[in-house]
């Protein structure tokens, strides 16, 4: 599953980088399907980052990788 998640991030990354941001994979919990990432650069401080994460990254990840249930941003999880 981790390899599929990493490959999907490589597909998503150019769109984030075009807006001055990026995504860093932190963990893939294969039991729960939770993917933990860190949004960095402009994505780390953007007010729309939660929308980007849930409506964009999570949706794409769930469509492309069987077993993914949620994508969580480490920065938001620690708030």
Residues 66-75: pLDDT tens digits?
Answer: 999 999 998 7
Residues 26-41: pLDDT tens digits?
Answer: 999 999 999 999 999 9
Structural domains in the chain (count): 1
Contact 24, 38 (CB under 8 A): yes
Instruction: Taking residues 9-19, report their average pLDDT.
Output: 95
Q: What is the CATH number of the domain that holds 57?
A: 3.30.300.130
Determine phi and psi for 65, rounding to 5 degrees.
-125, 115
Q: Which domain holds residue 73?
A: 2-77
pLDDT band, very low/low/confident/very high, at 45 (cuts 50, 70, 90): confident
Q: Is the pLDDT of residue 46 over 60?
A: yes
């Amino acid at each position: 599953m981790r390899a599929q998640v990493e490959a999907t991030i490589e597909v998503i990354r150019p769109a984030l980088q075009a807006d001055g941001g990026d995504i860093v994979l932190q963990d893939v919990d294969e039991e729960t399907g939770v993917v933990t990432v860190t949004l960095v650069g402009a994505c780390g401080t953007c007010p729309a980052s939660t929308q980007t994460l849930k409506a964009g990254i999570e949706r794409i990840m769930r469509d492309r990788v069987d077993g993914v249930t949620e994508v969580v941003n480490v920065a938001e999880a620690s708030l």
